[in-house]
């Protein structure tokens, strides 16, 4: 019985040591070859385990140590029951309960909320009467947003919730997803103002704790524009920059326009019930200087447009 319990145990190694052990075992093998030897999925091995999104089972840990002839016991910082993310008792399970210290309200948290409201989705998957999966999914374009999602957004989640998330590429499109699992994370985000499910049906607004503080509001707007905004010229003959935001959520687009006004900007009226635009030259410059972008694709876009203007 004790031996069976050990097989179900999860081994927590010091940061980067799990990846190191797996790469030692891989050597010149392909991920497919190594996964066959370990009897697990190549994707699970090369993504979830290598990047330490998931902990090694006791069985896999022993197999890897045996294959490499290395002992990583000195790097073990915890040993968890395989049900560590679930309470025991079947129907009484509380789901994926990764615990963390709830972050305080901050400009980083406000920016992350802007990112989630922009291109994110908070999800609770229910089977029967029970929620079986809690997650946050941030979507982007694999061609333009990979660095932003992989480095910047993932680092925000790591700093705030101690979770890096995992990347998933869509097979039939250029969409890239950063996904974070955790019941407590989802419950915290809901408590702070972003409900799970369809944002339009939920009539998503800017949470009051963000709207009432201009520093938080600027950070929220930055996250929102980074994910769902656009930078472009007014026309071929007018080389002044515009910054626009589009949303089909009437409550949100109204809140965003009110936010710009609160911050001293003069946005357009809401166009076609879904668009607002900053077009005053001095205010576009002020946005870039004071609020700025964390997503480099916008900075590259501005540089490209400026270069085109010089050529013309």
| Mean pLDDT confidence for 143-151 | 91
Which of helix, strand or coil describes residue 105? coil
Residue 7 has pLDDT above 80, yes or no: no
Residue 5 binned pLDDT confidence (cut-offs 50, 70, 90):
very low
Rounded Cα distance, 312 and 306, in Å:
10
Single out the residue of 107, 153, 148, 167 nearest to residue 299, CA to CA: 148
Is 2-82 CATH 3.20.20?
no
Residue 13 binned pLDDT confidence (cut-offs 50, 70, 90):
confident
- Quickly tell me which residue has 């709207």 as its tokens: 211
Which of helix, strand or coil describes residue 304? helix
Residue 101 binned pLDDT confidence (cut-offs 50, 70, 90):
confident
Q: For residue 6, what pLDDT is reported?
A: 45
What is the sign, positive or negative, of the torsion defined by CA atoms of 41, 45, 46, 47? positive
- Quickly tell me which residue has 């990047």 as its tokens: 51
Rounded Cα distance, 167 and 259, in Å:
32
| Mean pLDDT confidence for 56-74 | 91
Strand partners, 139: 177
- 210-311: CATH number: 3.10.28.10
Q: What is the pLDDT of residues 199-213, one digit of tens each?
A: 999 999 999 999 999
Q: Looking at the chain, how many residues does it have?
A: 312
Q: What is the pLDDT of residues 117-132, one digit of tens each?
A: 999 999 988 766 777 7
Entry pTM: 0.69
Q: Class of 107-199 per CATH?
A: alpha beta
Edge-first strand order for the sheet with 275-278 is 229-233, 241-246, 275-278
Residue 227 has pLDDT above 60, yes or no: yes
Each domain of the chain, given as residue ranges in start order, spans: 2-82, 107-199, 210-311
Residues 6+ apart with CB under 8 A from 261: 267
Q: What is the pLDDT of residues 238-267, one digit of tens each?
A: 678 899 999 999 999 999 999 999 999 999
Q: Hey, do 2-82 and 210-311 end up sharing a CATH topology, with the first three levels equal?
A: no
């Amino acid at each position: 019985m004790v031996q069976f319990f050990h097989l179900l145990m999860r081994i927590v190694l010091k940061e980067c040591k799990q990846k190191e052990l797996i790469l030692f075992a891989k050597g010149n093998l392909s991920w497919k070859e190594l996964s066959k030897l370990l009897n697990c999925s190549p994707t699970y091995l090369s993504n979830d385990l290598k990047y330490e999104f998931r902990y090694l089972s006791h069985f896999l840990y022993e197999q890897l140590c045996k294959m490499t002839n290395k002992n990583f016991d000195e790097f073990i910082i915890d040993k968890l029951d395989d049900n560590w993310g679930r309470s025991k008792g079947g129907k009484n399970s509380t789901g994926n309960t990764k615990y963390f210290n709830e972050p305080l309200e901050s400009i980083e948290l406000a920016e992350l909320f802007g990112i989630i409201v922009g291109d994110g989705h908070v999800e609770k998957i229910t089977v029967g009467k029970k929620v079986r999966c809690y997650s946050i999914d941030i979507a982007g374009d694999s061609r333009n947003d990979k660095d932003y999602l992989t480095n910047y957004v993932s680092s925000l989640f790591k700093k705030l919730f101690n979770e890096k998330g995992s990347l998933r590429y869509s097979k039939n499109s250029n969409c890239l997803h950063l996904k974070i699992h955790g019941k407590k994370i989802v419950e915290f985000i809901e408590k702070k103002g972003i409900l799970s499910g369809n944002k339009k049906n939920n009539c998503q607004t800017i949470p009051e704790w963000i709207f009432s503080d201009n520093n938080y509001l600027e950070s929220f707007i930055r996250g929102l524009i980074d994910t769902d905004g656009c930078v472009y010229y007014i026309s071929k003959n007018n080389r002044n920059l515009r910054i626009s935001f589009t949303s089909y959520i009437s409550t949100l687009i109204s809140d965003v326009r009110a936010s710009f006004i609160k911050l001293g900007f003069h946005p357009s009226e809401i166009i076609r019930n879904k668009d607002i635009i900053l077009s005053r030259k001095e205010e576009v410059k002020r946005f870039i200087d004071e609020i700025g972008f964390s997503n480099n694709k916008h900075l590259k876009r501005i540089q490209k447009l400026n270069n085109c203007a010089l050529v013309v």
